[in-house]
Amino acid sequence: MQELALKYGCNPNQTRARIYMEKGELPITVLNGRPGYINFLDAFNSYQLVRELKEATDLPAAASFKHVSPAGAAVGLPLSDVLKKIYFVDDLELTPLAAAYARARGADRMSSYGDFVALSDTCDLATAKLLAREVSDGIIAPGYTDEALAVLKGKRKGTYNIIQIDEAYRPALKETKQVYGISFEQDRNEAVIGTELLAQRPTKVKEMPPEAERDLVIALIVLKYTQSNSVCYVKDGQAIGIGAGQQSRVHCTRLAGNKADNWYLRQHPQVLALPFRKDIRRPDRDNTIDVYISDDWEDVLAEGTWQLFFTEKPAPLSKEEKKKWLATLNGVALGSDAFFPFGDNIERARRSGVSYVAQAGGSIRDDNVIAACDKYGIAMAMTGLRLFHH
Residue of 32, 161, 229, 345 marked active site: 229
**CA pair distance 222, 193, nearest whole angstrom:** 10
**CA pair distance 306, 102, nearest whole angstrom:** 28
State whether residue 96 is helix, strand or coil.
Answer: helix
Residue of 157, 174, 278, 390 marked active site: 390
Contacts of 94 (CB under 8 A, 6+ apart): 79, 84, 102, 126, 130
Our answer to whether residue 251 is catalytic in this structure is no
Torsions phi, psi of 94, nearest 5? -110, 125
Q: What percentage of the chain's residues is helix, strand, coil (to nearest 5)? A: 40, 20, 40
Nearest partner of 125 among 152, 87, 162, 155, judged by Cα = 152
- DSSP class per residue in 128-185: HHHHHTS-EEEEEES-B-HHHHHHHHTGGGGT-EEEEE-TT----SEEEEEETTEEEE
Which runs of consecutive H residues, i.e. helices, occur in the chain? 37-57, 81-86, 96-106, 109-112, 125-132, 146-153, 210-224, 249-265, 269-272, 282-292, 297-303, 319-326, 344-350, 366-376
Residue of 54, 66, 84, 322 marked active site: 66
Strands 115-119 and 136-141: parallel
How many CB atoms neighbour CB 144 within 10 A?
24
Our answer to whether residue 389 is catalytic in this structure is no
What positions carry a catalytic annotation?
66-67, 229, 390
